[in-house]
Amino acid sequence: MTFIIMILLVPFVMYAIWLGTPKQKLVIAIIDKSILNKSRADHLSLTWILNNNKYTKTSKELYDSKRDYFGFHPLNDVSYEVKGLERFSYEQLEQLSTDCKMAYYFDTYGVYNVDWYGDEKPYGVLYGGLSSQDIQFLRLMKAKNKHIVAEFDLLGGPTTIENRKDFEDEFHLRWTGWTGRFFSELDLEKNKDIPNWVKDNFEKEHQKKWDFNGTGIVLVKGNQILVLDGKDLKTAYPIIWSTQGARKKYGIPEKTAYSFWFEIIDIDTSINQADANFKLDVSDSGHKKLRELDIPNEFPAIVSNKKGNFRFKYLAGDFSNGHSPMWTSYFKGIDKLQYIFGEEHEMAHSNEFYTFFYKPLLKNILEECADGN
């Protein structure tokens, strides 16, 4: 009975500790342009960690995941509001860069007509892409030595070639155009998460039917599709290997399985460093397929600048895809009990990645920013 009472008291104690934790103002410009459903938005993960650690947008107010971001804001039915930086003048961007300590860019893939209206409207972009105002804002943040964090899919369509090049030149990296994802099942009848365009483009390019099954990794560049299936892979899913310095600095594990979308980028190693790398553990046949398309089997996962008077990190994967229920953020120490409360995830290994890799990484990045380091 005593044990049961103690167990029941744990949530109350955790909540009481959270209430007693002092608030700390940390102003962040959160940019998220790809929101179809606010309950599944990528920036929820950041908001959870901000709230759990009592970081506030003002001296008193906590962050609200449904309101406190720049980008696409769904309303009721098919109505929406666009509240991005595109409406800002240079003077307003200048003021925002002064007020903020960090800019965090999530997915800029955007929202397409077919996603929002279905087949009622012609194909095209409703809103999205890295804009010229975004570039201006990032330059201002960089010039003021503010913290900048950007995630996967910043540089792909619908970002223009000009804006992509401006970003690449500003932050000394290059997008190769290749993106990829692990799938627990390649059989289209068993796995409806594989987009139809992947199958269609593969069959058009290779002039043969999609007949894959089992686990695999799909790599995409424009209309090009490369499939690495069981015979091409020694390890089914991509692995993130972290450097010793990153493990110490961010509290992340040496080796982590990863099962969401990722992208392949090159970095200028005279300016930037890879704190962690993706590795595709391929067989001889997998190596052959990659070599034919000049695709590396190891490439940066976390990039940070090691030179230059600015503070920049690029996460080359859809790291923020998973998240915990927002109500759990009001319990201090709940991250130690995530397996009890459960994580929202879509595929194998996502729970491990989100709990043991992304959360500590983001928590330490925020602490570094709040402390002014």
Residues 278-308: tens digit of each pLDDT: 999 999 999 999 999 999 999 999 999 998 8
pLDDT at residue 338 in the model: 56
pLDDT at residue 373 in the model: 66
pLDDT at residue 249 in the model: 95
pLDDT at residue 6 in the model: 62
How much is the average pLDDT of 69-82? 90
Asked if pLDDT for residue 350 goes beyond 80, the answer is no
Long-range pairs of 74-78 with CB within 8 A, sequence gap ≥ 24: 74/35, 74/36, 74/37, 74/38, 78/116, 78/117
Residue among 248, 251, 361, 359 at smallest CA distance from 303: 361
Report residue 7's pLDDT band, with 50, 70 and 90 as the boundaries. low
How much is the average pLDDT of 167-191? 95
pLDDT at residue 4 in the model: 66
pLDDT at residue 343 in the model: 44
Q: Which of the listed ranges 10-14, 100-104, 343-347 does the model predict with the highest average pLDDT?
A: 100-104
Residue pair 297/282 in contact (Cβ under 8 Å)? The answer is yes
Percent of the chain with pLDDT over 70: 93
pLDDT at residue 2 in the model: 67
Furthest CA-CA distance within the chain: 68
Residue pair 150/313 in contact (Cβ under 8 Å)? The answer is yes
How much is the average pLDDT of 35-43? 83
Residue among 366, 331, 339 at smallest CA distance from 12: 331
Residue pair 48/326 in contact (Cβ under 8 Å)? The answer is yes
pLDDT at residue 163 in the model: 97
Asked if pLDDT for residue 346 goes beyond 50, the answer is no
Asked if pLDDT for residue 336 goes beyond 80, the answer is no
Mean pLDDT, the chain, as a whole number?
90
Asked if pLDDT for residue 311 goes beyond 70, the answer is yes
The answer to pTM > 0.95 is: no
Express each pLDDT in 100-158 by its tens digit.
999 999 989 999 988 888 776 777 899 999 999 999 999 999 999 999 999 998 999 89
Q: Helices 359-370 and 44-52 sit at what angle, rounded to 10 degrees?
A: 60
Asked if pLDDT for residue 247 goes beyond 90, the answer is yes
Write b or e for each residue in 90-128: b if 16 or more Cβ atoms lie within 10 A of its Cβ, otherwise e: eeebeebbeebbbbbbbbbbbbbeeebeeeeeeeeebbb
pLDDT at residue 5 in the model: 65
pLDDT at residue 116 in the model: 86
How much is the average pLDDT of 65-80? 90
